[in-house]
Amino acid sequence: MSMIANDTVVRFNYTLTNSDGDVLDKSNGEPLAYLHGHHNIIPGLEAQMEGKGVGDKFTVTVAPEDAYGEYLSEAVQEVPRANFQGVDNIEVGMQFQSQTDDGHVMLVTVKDVNDDVVVVDGNHPLAGVTLTFDVEVVDVREATADEIAHGHAHGVGGHHH
């Protein structure tokens, strides 16, 4: 039986909750596929998957620094409303792609809107959140050469080209 190790493709079911027990996400019978050892999932979860096998069920709690990072107050910024040309109705909770000075694209979430200024938050929505995953490993197989070259799983539950 295959164990999870670098360059294996893993399919797993999961339920993700926060520290209050609220369900944030779940696989709903559609297992997530990823290529192990290639940073396709958050580091704290990937580390706990190592060595597990098909049928294993376990719970992993991941601190923010091993998930989506700590919440950074400096990632919250006021942006002139004029920067949102072509967007007539800006509402709290809307998400936009923004380009940083060094060319990286990041997702920002609108936190507040007033006449002249829009407050946006560049933190990941789960930044600063301790995450708990209830995991069931469904399948483990050797990755193909193409998957290793591309750095992600292909096919069912994975990436489709």
**CA atoms of 143 and 153, how far apart (whole Å):** 7
Neighbour-count burial of 42, counting CB atoms closer than 10 A to its CB (0-12 exposed, 13-18 middle, 19+ buried):
middle
CB atoms within 10 A of CB 145: 8
Between 88 and 138, the more confident residue is: 138
140-157 average pLDDT score: 91
Q: What is the pLDDT of residue 159?
A: 66
User: pLDDT tens digit string along 17-67?
Assistant: 999 999 999 999 899 999 999 999 999 999 999 999 999 999 999 999 999
Split at pLDDT 50, 70, 90, the class of 160 is low
134-155 average pLDDT score: 95
**CA atoms of 12 and 52, how far apart (whole Å):** 11
Q: Which residue do the tokens 């999961």 mark?
A: 14
**Is pLDDT above 70 for 157?**
no
Q: Which domains does the chain have, with CATH numbers?
A: 8-68+127-150 (3.10.50.40), 73-121 (2.40.10.330)
Are the C-beta atoms of 67 and 44 separated by less than 8 Å? yes
Q: What is the pLDDT of residue 1?
A: 61
User: pLDDT tens digit string along 82-134?
Assistant: 988 888 899 999 999 887 788 888 889 999 999 899 999 999 999 999 999 99
- Whole-number Cα distances in Å, 138 to 10, 55, 65, 144: 8, 6, 27, 18
